[in-house]
Amino acid sequence: MLRRLSLMCLTALAVMSAAQAAPRDDILAGYAAQAKADDAAFAGFSAARGEALYRNPHRGGKPDTPSCTSCHGDNPRAAGRTPVGKAIDPVAVSAAPTRYTDPAKVEKWFRRNCREVLGRECTAREKGDWLAYMITQ
């Protein structure tokens, strides 16, 4: 009886800690499937490519926001700032553990911000790379 109870507690704990990561894994899996469909040679996401996407200046978007860092800042673990001055929660998972757990919210902001910075929507690979980088941060 006692053993069964402790097993149940352990299971509950494991489920609770996984609860935050599970939706993020689902989002990543969705992007991976799409990236594979876009390019058969796709071999997984890369945090290094994600960091380059985050830091590099891009062309095609708005001149006042050439890169992700224009608003999110050089340090993804620190708060960013919108052009009108409102603080943005950090984008690194370690600093904002609830980020990237709501697929609709993730898609909404990729759509808006990629258009803003790149002048186009991001590909599934780019979105996955971004997530891969932010998960390591």
| Contact status, residue 80 vs residue 71, Cβ threshold 8 Å | yes
- Which of 83, 97, 103, 119 binds another protein (CB under 8 A)? It is 83
In angstroms, how far is CA 94 from the centroid of its own chain? 12
Structure token pair of residue 45 = 């996401």
Residue 107 as a binder of another protein (CB under 8 A): the answer is no
Is 35 or 117 the residue whose CB approaches another protein more closely?
117
Burial of 41 (0-12, 13-18, 19+ CB in 10 A): exposed
Site track 54-73 with another protein (rule: CB under 8 A), x = hit? --------x-----------
Q: Using CB under 8 A, list all residues that contact another protein.
A: 62, 81-86, 108, 111-112, 115-116
